[in-house]
């Protein structure tokens, strides 16, 4: 059953501060500011040979996407983008990945939408020589590769050779010195080009940067990059960013030097909770972007004007919903949509996700980094909008990955930090038509989390609601709801996940593989008959959990694939197909809807008076309606307080009256 809780008893002090700080601004006062680095248009886009064909520079060099040349090309791409950004340069560099269907699409869409001319440059050394001859590349910074046994993005220092982060020092200094970064084992190849060594970073570490050697680095953002990985170094150099790595004191000091609400690019190593907590408590948020190339040219594409609106096929109109008082309504929401690199990587072209055979056959909620894509990957956001079906619903994953309940906890004025975070993205969300957010906390209904929900709701007047998950388990709230108010005093639900489709987590209540989750939902539907609040719930779908077709008649957990239960046969699935297996098992009377429809139905059932007041007020202010119809809505509002909503029939009658004002005597929305 969905339980309810209200605000004031939970956190009077912080809530009062948010009320004072959180007056809602005009809905379209001015264009929202970018908080990702902005990159202007350019005349040309230079395209390298495919990344897999990049040459080895010394015998033990792996070559390709993780070789020494890739690190150097990333720095060259950063210098070229920096020139466009600061000195009217005319060319970006695109490091090609033609065999990756998604990145080949973004290359072609970037060229098509920007109008940049493509210039192929198959020889990377010739390209570096060319850029040196024209004065862009002044020399190189020498670094020592981190060759320890630690896996990529595991916590440093690891085993084996001594940990070395000098490549992050080199990356941090490259913009100021106009230098490419060079592995010490490849130095002779670059001296042969006539390039001078401008800095030897090998004996230096990230702590050295913070000893007054970071003055040229931006305070608007930071990059957390594993020294073993070349990705995102173009973006770091082009934005004059500081680069560090590891959950440690150096990173803590680096985060504290930033302006409030700075995006953290890349990803940190080791324990995910500790890494995300560290940046949340200092008032920042992660973008999950550590496996990305080519963001500067992609970010130079402005918003696509002819792209449809977000959820143009699937956005429900509350007054057009049928008044169903018998069905059990449930929704499914895919996790991990904060992940910018997934959206740009294989999300759209993977058979488990956007290209799944069963996608479009039932309503599905997709979390996505909507705010981030709008600023840095307009072609990808346009693609998402264009290819969505009427059964696809996109909700924004919180404008980054941070813990709302810990946000700004280590700062002197935490309430101001929370309000500033909401203010940073809310207006962009209003303009994009974002109606549902999902937020992940460590304690989803504590004082700190409630403060963030309140700050957001007060700045997003058309928010249908917020979906809440917890770090572990995602469905810790067990379908419970809390309520906050928007700036007009309308109650907005924060509805926690009741179920989790997650392999290997059946020990946690209401979690498990498709057969178990379907059984749990069917049981809840039977138990909730006659209980209005109990007829609405949702399942968070763990994007990376793996399942296989199986006979579950003897073992309801037989579908999950884990270390202890390895895959049998060839076929296993993540994402959409396991949701379909779940949906196919539902009992009659269980209706699958998208997340926004679920929230509106929940609001109408649980708080009918307040929800209908809001909808009637919107009718009274809707200038597309005639003056007579708006007057009817005002009259309806005037009589609202005298009405009873004790029974579903009374709510249905009131809803029908508003429908007739909105849609005419039939009370039905006409097809377009």
Encode pLDDT of 452-476 as tens digits. Answer: 999 999 999 999 999 999 999 999 9
Distance (Å, whole) CA 68 – CA 167: 11
Lowest mean pLDDT: which of 123-137, 172-186, 656-670? 656-670
Q: Given this model, what pLDDT does residue 14 score?
A: 46
Distance (Å, whole) CA 207 – CA 248: 11
Nearest 5°: CA angle at 148, between 143 and 154?
A: 105
Encode pLDDT of 44-93 as tens digits. Answer: 999 999 999 999 999 999 999 999 999 999 999 999 999 999 999 999 99
Distance (Å, whole) CA 616 – CA 610: 10
Distance (Å, whole) CA 207 – CA 259: 19
pLDDT band at 547 (very low <50, low <70, confident <90, very high): very high
On whether the CB atoms of residues 583 and 541 are closer than 8 A, the answer is no
Q: Given this model, what pLDDT does residue 668 score?
A: 66
Q: Is the pLDDT of residue 29 over 70?
A: no
The runs of H, that is alpha helices, within 349-496 are 370-376, 378-387, 414-432, 447-459
On whether the CB atoms of residues 669 and 320 are closer than 8 A, the answer is yes
pLDDT band at 15 (very low <50, low <70, confident <90, very high): very low
Separation of first and last alpha carbons in the chain: 37
Q: Is the pLDDT of residue 144 over 80?
A: yes
Task: Calculate the average pLDDT of the chain.
Answer: 93
Peptide bond between residue 473 and the one before it cis (omega within 30 degrees of 0)? yes
pLDDT band at 157 (very low <50, low <70, confident <90, very high): confident
> Where are the domains positioned within the chain?
4-34+306-606, 44-299, 608-663
Distance (Å, whole) CA 311 – CA 320: 16
Q: Given this model, what pLDDT does residue 31 score?
A: 64
Residue with token string 């210098």: 79
Mean of the pLDDT values across residues 239-266? Answer: 97
Mean of the pLDDT values across residues 91-97? Answer: 97
Candidates 247, 248, 246, 251; CA nearest to 222 is 251
pTM over 0.75: yes
Q: Is the pLDDT of residue 108 over 50?
A: yes
Distance (Å, whole) CA 260 – CA 283: 6
Mean of the pLDDT values across residues 588-602? Answer: 98
Candidates 407, 527, 418; CA nearest to 479 is 527
The radius of gyration of the chain's CA atoms, rounded to the nearest angstrom, is: 26
On whether the CB atoms of residues 633 and 616 are closer than 8 A, the answer is yes
pLDDT band at 564 (very low <50, low <70, confident <90, very high): confident
On whether the CB atoms of residues 314 and 388 are closer than 8 A, the answer is yes
Q: Given this model, what pLDDT does residue 666 score?
A: 63
CA dihedral over 108, 110, 115, 121, signed as positive or negative = negative
Q: Is the pLDDT of residue 4 over 90?
A: no
Paired tokens of 108: 């072609």
Mean of the pLDDT values across residues 566-571? Answer: 81
Q: Is the pLDDT of residue 140 over 50?
A: yes
pLDDT band at 16 (very low <50, low <70, confident <90, very high): very low
Encode pLDDT of 480-492 as tens digits. Answer: 999 999 999 999 9
Question: Which burial class, exposed, middle or buried, applies to 338 when counting CB atoms under 10 A from its CB (0-12, 13-18, 19+)?
Answer: buried
CATH topology of domain 4-34+306-606: TIM Barrel (3.20.20)
Encode pLDDT of 169-221 as tens digits. Answer: 999 999 999 999 999 999 999 999 999 999 999 999 999 999 999 999 999 99
Distance (Å, whole) CA 612 – CA 650: 12
Lowest mean pLDDT: which of 122-136, 138-152, 153-167, 373-387? 153-167
pLDDT band at 3 (very low <50, low <70, confident <90, very high): very low
Distance (Å, whole) CA 672 – CA 665: 18
**Structure letter (DSSP) for residue 533:** G
């Amino acid at each position: 059953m969905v339980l309810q809780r209200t605000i004031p008893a939970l956190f009077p002090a912080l809530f009062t501060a948010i009320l004072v700080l959180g007056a809602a601004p005009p809905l379209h006062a001015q264009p929202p500011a970018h908080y990702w680095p902005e990159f202007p248009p350019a005349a040309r886009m230079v395209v390298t040979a495919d990344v897999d064909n990049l040459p080895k520079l010394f015998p033990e060099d792996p070559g390709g996407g993780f070789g020494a040349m890739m690190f150097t090309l990333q720095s060259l791409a950063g210098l070229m983008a920096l020139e466009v950004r600061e000195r009217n340069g005319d060319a970006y560099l695109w490091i090609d990945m033609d065999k990756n269907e998604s990145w080949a699409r973004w290359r072609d869409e970037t060229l098509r939408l920007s109008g940049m001319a493509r210039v192929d440059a198959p020889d990377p050394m010739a390209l570096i020589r060319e850029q040196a001859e024209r004065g862009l590349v002044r020399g190189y910074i020498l670094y020592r590769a981190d060759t320890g046994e630690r896996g990529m993005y595991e916590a440093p220092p690891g085993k084996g050779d001594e940990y070395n982060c000098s490549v992050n020092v080199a990356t941090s200094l490259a913009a100021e010195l106009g230098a490419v970064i060079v592995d010490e084992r490849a130095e002779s190849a670059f001296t042969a080009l006539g390039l001078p060594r401008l800095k030897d970073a090998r004996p230096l570490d990230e702590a050295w940067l913070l000893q007054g050697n970071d003055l040229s680095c931006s305070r608007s953002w930071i990059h957390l990059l594993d020294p073993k990985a070349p990705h995102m170094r173009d973006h770091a150099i082009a934005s004059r960013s500081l680069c560090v790595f590891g959950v440690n004191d150096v990173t803590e000091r680096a985060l504290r030097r930033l302006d409030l609400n700075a995006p953290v690019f890349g990803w940190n190593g080791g324990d995910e909770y500790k890494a995300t907590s560290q940046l949340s408590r200092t008032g920042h948020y992660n973008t999950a972007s550590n496996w990305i190339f080519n963001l500067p040219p992609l970010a130079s594409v402005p918003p696509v004007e002819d792209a449809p609106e977000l959820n143009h096929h699937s956005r429900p109109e509350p007054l057009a919903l049928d008044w169903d008082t018998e069905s059990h309504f449930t929704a499914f929401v895919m996790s991990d949509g904060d992940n910018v690199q997934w959206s740009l990587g294989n999300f759209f072209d993977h058979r488990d996700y956007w290209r799944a055979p069963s996608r479009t056959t039932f309503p599905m909620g997709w979390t996505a980094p909507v705010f981030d894509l709008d600023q840095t990957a307009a072609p990808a956001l346009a693609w998402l909008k264009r290819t969505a079906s009427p059964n696809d619903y996109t909700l924004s994953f919180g404008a980054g990955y941070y813990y709302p309940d810990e946000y700004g906890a280590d700062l002197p004025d935490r309430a101001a930090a929370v309000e500033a975070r909401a203010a940073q993205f809310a207006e962009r969300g209003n303009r994009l038509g974002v109606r549902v957010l999902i937020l992940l906390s460590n304690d989803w209904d504590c004082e700190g989390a409630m403060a963030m929900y309140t700050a957001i709701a007060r700045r997003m007047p058309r928010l249908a609601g917020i979906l809440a998950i917890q770090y572990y388990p995602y469905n810790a709230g067990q379908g419970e709801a809390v309520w906050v108010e928007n700036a007009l005093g309308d109650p907005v639900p924060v509805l926690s996940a009741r179920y989790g489709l997650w392999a290997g987590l059946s020990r946690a209540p209401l979690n498990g593989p498709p057969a178990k989750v379907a059984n749990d939902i069917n049981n809840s539907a039977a138990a909730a008959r006659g209980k209005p609040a109990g007829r609405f719930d949702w399942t968070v779908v763990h994007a990376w959990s793996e399942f296989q077709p199986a006979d579950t008649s003897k073992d309801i957990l037989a579908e999950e694939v884990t270390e202890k239960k390895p895959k049998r046969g060839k076929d296993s699935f993540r994402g959409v197909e396991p949701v379909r297996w779940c949906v196919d098992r539902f009992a009659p009377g269980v209706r699958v809807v998208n997340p926004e429809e679920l929230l509106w139905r929940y609001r109408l059932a649980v708080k009918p008076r307040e929800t209908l007041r809001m909808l009637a007020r919107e009718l009274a202010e809707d200038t597309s309606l005639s003056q007579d119809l708006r007057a009817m809505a005002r009259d309806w509002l005037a009589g609202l307080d005298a009405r009873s909503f004790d029974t579903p029939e009374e709510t249905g009658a009131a809803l029908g009256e508003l429908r007739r004002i909105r849609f005419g005597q039939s009370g039905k929305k006409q097809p377009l």
